[in-house]
Amino acid sequence: MAMLDVRHLKKIYTTRFGGSQVQALSNVNFSVEKGEYTAIMGESGSGKTTLLNILAALDKPTGGEVYLNGKDVTKIPERELAAFRRDNLGFVFQDFNLLDNFSIRDNIFLPLVLSGRKYDEMDRKLSGIAPRLGIQDILAQFPYEVSGGQKQRAAVARAIITSPQLILADEPTGALDSRSTESLLELFGVLNDCGQTILMVTHSVKAASKAKRVLFIKDGEVFHQIYKGRDTSETLYQKISDTLTMIATGGGRHE
Ligand SMILES: Nc1ncnc2c1ncn2[C@@H]1O[C@H](COP(=O)(O)OP(=O)(O)OP(=O)(O)O)[C@@H](O)[C@H]1O
């Protein structure tokens, strides 16, 4: 059984007043096996964020199902959603989403605090991951006192401290300079090598070329996908660029 199974996903937004409708997703189908590292690409407005929000159970689809380890996340009752997300998913966002009034340490602890863990346990978990992320020296500092790259590393620590089934990343390198981008992508690679399943929405060909598989969304469907296989990141980079050019120039479906 696939870890994540997305079936016939459809999302139609209806504007509040005029009743005009936007079809953001028409029929999205794909699955992700445990341990995969997948990037999702597509032109602006192609429905990537909509898809990620539905996978994260932050929004409901108009139709279709999303199974995470056999459980349909679209059917989880509202009152169970926060706990479901906390127990199963790790999030990494473009703008880090750290709380300014919390130290880096407390930001990282937050999901564990919310699920009622003891301080000793939280501290033990953090000691296990902080050196790998290179953030041991900034744990007492506040988000506004550290660099963008450090903030994103703290956000990754917060995402993995609960040992989530799946990391969902939305444009994680979008606010980073090239050095921090490089280091974040390296970190995702290491996490994936250790078995972490990652799904990342990105506009960056560079970021996507570090994944093991790239899905392209167009017109609300999965239009094409590329597996890295034995290719180098450079070869994958070229294949992604070619596909994006084809999409932008209205090329035909490739599957
Ligand atoms: N809340 C909403 N109400 C109405 N339409 C929406 C809403 N959110 C998104 N849309 C529309 O749905 C479509 C898909 O949007 P979405 O944000 O998922 O695309 P995206 O691929 O993530 O774009 P980008 O790369 O620019 O972030 C777009 O046409 C967008 O205008």
Q: What is the pLDDT of residues 211-225, one digit of tens each?
A: 999 999 998 999 999
- Structural domains in the chain (count): 1
Identify the pLDDT of residue 63.
97
Residue 10 neighbours by CB under 8 Å, 6+ apart: 23, 25, 26, 27, 28, 61, 62, 63, 64, 220
ipTM for this prediction: 0.96
pLDDT band at 132 (very low <50, low <70, confident <90, very high): confident
In a domain, 83, yes or no: yes
Instruction: Evaluate whether residue 222 is within a structural domain.
Output: yes
Which ligand 1 atom lies nearest to the CA of residue 49? Answer: 22
Average pLDDT (131-142) is 94
pLDDT tens-digit profile of 18-57? Answer: 678 999 999 999 999 999 999 999 999 999 999 999 999 9
With respect to residue 226, please indicate whether it lies within any of the assigned structural domains: yes
**Is residue 53 situated within a structural domain?**
yes
Length of the chain: 255
Residue 74 buriedness (CB in 10 A; 0-12 / 13-18 / 19+): middle
Position 255 in a domain: no
Looking up residue 103, the CATH number of its domain turns out to be: 3.40.50.300
The pLDDT of residue 104 is above 60: yes
State if residue 134 touches ligand 1 by the CB under 6 angstroms criterion. Answer: no
The pLDDT value given to residue 253: 55
- Domain hosting 119: range is 4-248
Which ligand 1 atom sits closest to the C-alpha of 50? 18
pTM: 0.93
Ligand 1 close to Cβ of residue 14 (< 6 A): no
Strands (DSSP E) contained in the chain are 4-14, 21-32, 37-41, 63-68, 71-72, 89-93, 166-170, 197-201, 213-218, 221-227
Strands (E), 179-219: 197-201, 213-218
Which two three-digit tokens encode residue 76? Answer: 């989880």
Q: Which of 10, 22, 200, 221 to mutate to test the pocket of ligand 1 (most atoms within 8 A of CB)?
A: 22
Report how far residue 41's alpha carbon sits from residue 252's, in angstroms, rounded to the nearest whole number. 17
